[in-house]
Structures are given as structure tokens and as C-alpha cells.
A = this chain, B = another copy of it.
């Protein structure tokens, strides 16, 4: 459970300010004095421990090894990692140029291919870094400070987005609604509060959520180990199911609405999200259950016309054949392990982003949302 030789540390061993931040609210990361402290999500729900990243290499590894995951959180962490990369150059007295900026960008961009927030955050950071480099009005140290501030702004904006989406999502619900979610689109998948779980939190606060059914989300169990952990610790009534029970749950009329996050949404509304989302959307449609995608505008990739163009990460067979060290399948068996799937827009009741609720036809609604002055 160590990362690049780093020892994990407990809450008690964190710097006081960092500890208070993690204690006050469920969150995946805190950046303090240029050190990025990450909740090690691989160890939940058994162990709550943290890793400190001080270099871009450590941040890249943390993303790839899923110490941190969730599209918005990956973008934020990458932004801090990029700032750390520039800081290291400045610290060594290296006058960085555009090619060096691009190399730092590439190091992080290649960690995970599906979530577009990663690309969005890096575009924003590299754009700023190049502008600062060209302007040459700030000292290298001041440029680094400016980049860390920008990463912090991305984090702050993301939390504000989540709270806005939570209110919008909750407004669609009636009192006592029974909700369902897949994977973890929670506080720890974002800057804080969560996208789909932001709706759950807002709805619960308003008396509009009597229970949340959580798909365990094989193969990595993010629903069981992260979502159930987040909600259970906050006292929101949660019932865990295996993914394949969703059909029977819908058949038994136990779900009023489904909220999921997204890793990338294309111009027509097609949505890449954790594997199993598509099957859940098909089941929802068959049972007349509203199916909502909750994601900030940083998750939209309007350069792609449809979901068929989204690259889907194929992950290691061992995620399916083993649980921890325990083999659950015969050695050498073939495995198919796509990390994500694409839900076509026609299975999605509405898209919720921080500026509003979008309804079909999505091509027009998304184009209008991105043409608005709020962008």
C-alpha cells in the first residue's frame, strides 16, 4: 500500500491544518504548502490513511494506481501535480520553456485515457503556464505560486459546481424518494460533496431521500468500499447490492430515480462512465425509472460527436480474477475487463450540470449550454 516507497500516514500524523480539513468534510485531497495529501482510496473501507505527494511523478503514479479516482478529482489532482512539476523546475533554477511544459502535461495526460476532466484541467494549467512564460511579468517563484493558486481555484470551483448540481438534482425529486447509484461519484471523486452523491446529499438534507441503493460496482467495488463508506459515515440510509441485483430491485419497484456520474460526455449526450452504467440505464428504461447523469461542464467533450469515439480503458485481468490476494477464478482464464462503458443519450432522462438541467434533444441543449455566457 505504499506509493513509490512512501509510507502511508494516519490522520493523526498529518499536519494540523490538513487533518482539520480532512476531518471537517469528506474529501479526497488537501494541498498544503505545495504538498498534495491524498486519501488512499485503495485501502477503504478498512483503513483510512493518507499519502503525501511532492512530485509530478508521485501524482502520476497516484492517478494511475487509483489512490485517487473519479473524473473531477483526477482533474484537480493533475492540476496540483502539474504545479509541482513546474515548481521542481523553478526550484532547480531551470528556466522552463513551452516544450518542458508540454512534457509535464504529457506525463500526467497519459495516466488514464477515459476521463476528460484530466485533459480539461491540464489544458487549463498548461495554457496558464505558457501564458505566464510568454508574458515574463512574474518571477519563476511567483509563476509557481500562480499555478498552485489556479489548481486551488479548480478545486474550489468543483466543490461549488457539486453543490449547485446537488440542488438542481434534488429539485427533481419528491419527498422520501428511493435512489440508486453506481460506482462512486461522491465527495472523494470530486473536490468534495460529489456529483451523483451531491444530489443524494442535497436530497437527504431536504427530506427527499429515504434510502440509497448502492451497486457494489465490480470489479473494484467502488460502490461497496467508497460510496457505502461515504454515505454510511454521514448517516444517510444506504443498502448495498451486488450489481446483478439491480434488475430484481427495479422489478420489485424499489427505486424512484437513478443518479450516476460521468467520465466523459460527448456533444450528443452520450456518456462514458464506470462499467455497468450502460446495463443499469437499460434496466432503468425497461422499468420506467428516471436515469440522470450528474457531471460538471468540465466532463463534457464537445469535440466528439458521439460516444463511439471515446477511448475506453481496458484494465488488468487480475482485477476480475482476484479480490485482494484471493483468486476467485481458475489460473490462466481469459478475461474481458473494460473500465468504462458508453450509455447512449436516448437512455438518459436528463443531464445535470452546474448551470442547469438539460433535456433531449441533447445536441441542441448541450450546444446551447456551451454557447451561454456562463461558460
Measured CB to CB, the residues of A under 8 A from B are: 45-46, 213, 215-219, 221, 224-225, 228-229, 232-233, 237-249, 251, 275-276, 278-280, 282-283, 285-286, 320-321, 323-324, 326-338, 341-342
Contacts and interface: CB of A to CB of B under 8 A. Distances in A.
B333 A232 contact: yes
Number of copies: 2
Residue picked from A216, A275, A285, A324, most chain B C-beta under 10 Å: A216
A326 B324 CA distance: 8
Contacts of A329: 45, 216, 221, 224-225, 228-229, 240
Contact of A275 (B217, B238, B244): B244
A66 to B, nearest CB: 15
Residue picked from A217, A329, A333, most chain B C-beta under 10 Å: A329
A179 to B, nearest CB: 14
Contact of A240 (B228, B324, B334): B334
Nearest to A325: B326
Contacts of A246: 279
Contacts of A275: 242, 244-245, 248
Given A216-B218, A219-B242, A240-B334, A279 B248 contact: yes
Residue picked from A239, A244, A341, most chain B C-beta under 10 Å: A244
Contact of A224 (B45, B285, B328, B336): B328
Contacts of A219: 242
Contacts of A334: 237-240
A247 B341 contact: yes
Given A282-B282, A333-B228, A327 B242 contact: no
B241 A335 contact: yes
Given A45-B329, A221-B329, A251-B342, 20 more contacts: A46-B327, A213-B336, A216-B329, A218-B244, A224-B320, A224-B328, A233-B330, A239-B333, A239-B334, A241-B335, A241-B336, A245-B279, A245-B341, A248-B279, A248-B338, A249-B336, A282-B282, A282-B286, A283-B283, A285-B286
A301 B341 CA distance: 39
Contacts of A228: 329-330, 333
